[in-house]
Every structure is written in C-alpha cells, then in structure tokens.
Amino acid sequence: MPVKGVLAYSVTIFLSAFLLFQIQPMIAKMILPWFGGSAAVWITCMVFFQVVLLGGYVYVHLLINRISARMQVIVHGGLLLISLFLLPVGPGLHWKPEGGEQPILQILGILFCSVGLPYFLLSTTSPLVQVWYSASHKVVLPYRLFALSNVASLAGLLAYPFLIEPRVVLRFQSIGWSALYGAFAALCFFLSIGNVKRTSEGKHGPVEQHHNVSVHAKPPPTLRTKGLWLALSTCASLLLLSVTNHLTQNIASIPFLWVLPLSLYLLTFIFCFDRSGWYQPKIYVWSLYALIGLMAYGIVYWGAGMSLKIVVPVYCAGLFLCCMFCHGELVLHRPPAGYLTAFYLVLSLGGALGGIAVGLIAPNVFSGYFELAVGLLFCSLLILLLNYRRGWIMRGLSSALVIGVIVAGVKCVIDYSDYSLLNSRNFYGVLRVKEYSKGKETEHRSMVHGTINHGIQFTAPDRQTRPLTYYSSTSGVGRAITTFQKTGAVKVGIIGLGAGSLAAYSRDGDEFRFYEINPTVEALARRYFYYLSGAKGKVSVVIGDGRLSLEREPIQHYDVLAVDAFSGDAIPAHLLTKQSFELYFKHLKPDGILAIHISNKHLKLGLVVEELCKAFGVSRVLIDDEKLGARGHQPAFPRIT
C-alpha cells in the first residue's frame, strides 16, 4: 500500500480530531462568563458534544450502508460546503442571558447555532474515513486509525490550556480554528473523490465497500455483545463526567480541570485501541479493586478540608483505571471491519447516554452530587459480570466490591441529609438549608452551597439581625459599610446573595442591591432566613450574573461594592479580570470602596487582586479578621457535613 495513500487518510483523521477537541474548551470558555463561571457549563457542553457525536455516527452508518460512493461525495461534500458559510465559529452577543433563563437549554441553543454543523461533520470523519480506507485498501481492521484520532484529540486538548489559551485572545482563536477547518473541509472532500475513483476501478458495489471477504469469516455480533458494548461505553462516559463534576465543583471552573479527566479518558482509548496488549485484565482488576474502594471511601469521608494533593491524584488515577477496564474490554469484544460503523455507533450511543445521565438527568433527580457513587457501582457490577467465571476468588472479591460501594453510597446520602431542612440542586450547584440546636437558645440555620457555608442566622427574634460568619462588624466589608454610614445614608452593591447577611447592616434611608445568578438562592434566603425581610433599608435582588447585570445597568454610584463570590468551591474567574475591575470602578463613587472577599480554601486570590489593583493604580488594604475572635465570626469554609 502506498505511503502517500496512508498519509492522506492519517492527516485527515488527525486534523479533524485535533479540531474536534480544540473547539470544546474554546467554545466553553467563550460562554463561561455568561453563566456565572459555573462548572456545569462544561458538563452541558460535553453533553451536547456527545449527542452530536452520536448523530455523526448515525449519519455515517446510514451514509455507508444506504448510499453509493458517488452519492456520498455529493451529500457529504454539500454539507462541508454549507458549513464553510458558518465560519468563523463563535456565539453572537444576542445570546447573552439577561437573567431568569433556563441555562441548560440556552447553552444547548448557543452551541447548536454557533458550532453545531462544523462539529457534526468533524465527528463523522474518523469512522467515515476508516471505512473508506478499509474499502479502498482491503484492510480488515483499521482500528489503529481510531487510536490515531484519539492521539490527535489528546494533542488538541492539551494544546489549548498550555499553548493557545494563555497566548491567543478568543477572537483570534476563533479565526485560527476556522482557517484550519477550511483546510480540513477541502482535504476531506478531495479524499472522498479519490475513494470513488478507487472503488470504481476495483468494481466495488456499495455493500462491498465495507463488507469484504474476511467479514464473512465471523458471525455478526449478538445482541448480548452489543449490550456489553453499550454498558462499557456508558460506564466510561458516566465516570468521566461525574469525576469532572467532582473536581470542578471543589476547585474552580478552569479549562485545565476540564481537560485533565478528558485527557485521561482519551489516553485509555489510545492505549487500548492502538495495541491490545496494553490492557491485561488479570493485572488491572487488582488495581481496580483498590482504587474503586478508595474512591468510594472518599465520597463519604473526604470533606471540604481534605488536601487536593490526595483527592485529585486518587480520583484521576481511579478514572484512568476504570476507563482502561471499560475500553480494554471493548477492544477484547470488538467486531470485524464489516461491522465497524455499528460498533462506533453503539460506542457513541453509550457516550451520549453517560453524558445525558450526568448533565441532564442527575441535576433533576438527585438533590446532591450522587452520580459518582452511581458510576462506581455501575463499574463494579461490570467487573463482577466479566469476572464471574474466572474463579471463586475473583467472584468473591468482585461481589465484596459491589457491596462496599453500595454501603458507601447509602452512607453518603444519609450523611448528606443530616440536619437538613431542604436539599436542592440545579444548574448552579447544590444548596442545603441546615438547622442546628433546634429548640435551644442557640438554634440557628445555615445556607450551604456545595461544602461552603454561605450564611448563618439565629432563629430567635431578638438575635435575627446580627450579621454572623465572615460578615461580622470586624470584617472588611463590615468596616467599609459602617465607615460610610457615619456620614449618612449609603448605597451598597453586593455580588453574591447567600443568606442575605449583609442586609443586616442596612438602616433607614440606605439602599442595598444584591446581584445573584442563582434564583434558588433568593428563594431560600427569603423562605428560611430573615435578613432580607427584616432589613430596615431598601433591599433589592437582581437575578443574573453580576458582571452582565452591571454591564446593562446605568452607573449606580455605589459607596461600597462588595464582590462576595469567591469563597465557594468553584469560583467565577471572570469576576477577577481587568474588564470586571474596570466595570466595578465605573459603578463606584470616586471615594467609594471595592470590597472583595478573597478567602478560598484552594486558591490564593490575594495575589491576583493585588496585581489588578496595581494595574488600576488604586490603594489596597488586606483585612484578616479570622483571629480577632469577633462573636459569631466564622471563616468562610468550616467543615460542614
């Protein structure tokens, strides 16, 4: 076989896969600030990409099995031509949310209109070109081309956070990606024409293009085998997204933490599909027992104070081994080349089902992040199924693993519900209202977002108006507000509502305006807490991302603008940029104070704020009152079970 021919197929597959996995973090970063920097943006994007990937594989399956080689050129070439008119990729500004929209539906709409068709066509390339290659060169199993596509995907993923994002602004990222896509479209079109010529010279019919003689040496895959393909691919996808959720909800919504789990997922594809010897069931199964057991232990006992140096390596190593098991077993049960498109179709269906389960079903069914426990149980059951006939030791250990994961999952749900008046989950995360010391003088409630305390209030009427936790009178924002109140009525803006604790500072004539992206937070603050209803001044709440809301509003002339959005598990990084600081100062009076709450259990935000203050030439003061012993004071992130 000529090297030139192999190179053409390889370059097309490599370029398509590279672009496929470049667009994912790029478009997610473009829309991330529009939705409060929520980690769920990436999960929703992944759901969209997996569903479109499934659509691409269905298209290829129908194209190859129902349409002649000449018509394939017309249909596929026509779609490639249409997609060029949608360049450069990127969402229009009219898609910016105004507050109150359903974020998941809006994100899916943005992705469909801005990158839907180009992504769809890129997703078809690997299976389509592999079939063309198999038909033209009579190669039975072109699975190494599948491994090549995953190498390119991994290269695209890693290039973005380390090479492209730090050096190229989003506008030029879009232009560069679109230029490469144009080159890909031309290459793919000419490759399809060459395929028609080769199949015509060889007098292949439309069926013979993918059903060569060697195919008939083996029977078609059974329904049981297809079910196993679906289960393994679904399990790997579900674990990928649930581990990603676990990491991004506990650290920050930044591309690196999106890329790391997906890179490990792709790496297992490369190892398993490039050489079958990479996956050795008898070796991996022992490591799987240990890592799944440790991950199950972690979801119960590793709370907010657990070191990331332990959490991140354990969950990433566990994800890698689980995906090696799923993808390795897929390779062991792979079909002959004649059933290639059906195999990829089932794999993409499993990927889409895993994405839908984590991105769409779990937020509407679970009140907490329980999908990781479900994924670990799913993987454990598959281990039991595939090792059941490998001796009583394997059968016994696999059964013990299943039981252990079930016990851990049940305990996780029980512990999560302790002291809770209400558990709620939506696109923006998990909220709980917890009540302690019920019936006693010290009875109080707290609002918990993920593992972070976002406000505490005594329930006794004579103590309800006392600002507690990190809003005490010795806190930076408390001092800023009371300083201005000495000279008269004040106007205060606050990004981040929580329980509404800062409203306790309002007096007659004062105006306090809260900006809160999550409508559920306002509903809980008004229903279970008394800061808003008991405020003496005028208090209003604006639903929507704080930065976008400030962009739309006329200049507010705030005495104090408090940005209290960084104590949580996943911080909205778009609120700590030069553009955001310029907006903040625009809404402040000339002598106003910008108060930024920078306590965070994982990230050192003080250095970022200091550099931004230097860039704008403003003075800054760091106030740390954690050790002052103010009554009712607590740090932003106590351990909460």
Buried b (16+ CB within 10 A) or exposed e, 195-221: bbebbeeeebebeebbbbeebeeeeeb
d(CA 384, CA 291): 15
Is the Cβ–Cβ distance between 477 and 597 less than 8 Å?
A: yes
**Within the chain, which residues score under 50 in pLDDT?**
1-4, 140-141, 202-216, 628-641
Per-residue confidence (pLDDT) for residue 255, from 0 to 100: 57
Per-residue confidence (pLDDT) for residue 199, from 0 to 100: 59
Is the Cβ–Cβ distance between 242 and 356 less than 8 Å?
A: no
Q: Where in the chain is the domain with CATH 1.20.1250?
A: 1-217
Sort strands 444-449 and 429-436 into parallel, antiparallel or unpaired: antiparallel
Nearest-CA neighbor of 255 among 184, 343, 156? Answer: 156
- Cα distances from 378 to residues 236, 243, 357, 369, 394, in angstroms, run 10, 14, 13, 16, 17
Is the Cβ–Cβ distance between 452 and 497 less than 8 Å?
A: no
CATH number, span 439-616:
3.40.50.150
Is the Cβ–Cβ distance between 409 and 370 less than 8 Å?
A: yes
Is the Cβ–Cβ distance between 560 and 481 less than 8 Å?
A: yes
Is the Cβ–Cβ distance between 214 and 394 less than 8 Å?
A: no
Thinking of the domain 1-217, which architecture would CATH place it in?
Up-down Bundle (1.20)
Nearest-CA neighbor of 405 among 319, 321, 296? Answer: 296
Is the Cβ–Cβ distance between 451 and 304 less than 8 Å?
A: yes
d(CA 72, CA 245): 40
Single-letter residue type at 394: M
d(CA 362, CA 239): 13
- Cα distances from 383 to residues 218, 271, 457, 507, 621, in angstroms, run 27, 20, 48, 63, 56
Buried b (16+ CB within 10 A) or exposed e, 4-26: eeeebbbbbbbbbbbbbbbbbbb
Per-residue confidence (pLDDT) for residue 138, from 0 to 100: 59
> Locate tokens 């059903």: which residue?
211
- Cα distances from 386 to residues 40, 203, 273, 326, 569, in angstroms, run 33, 43, 19, 11, 38
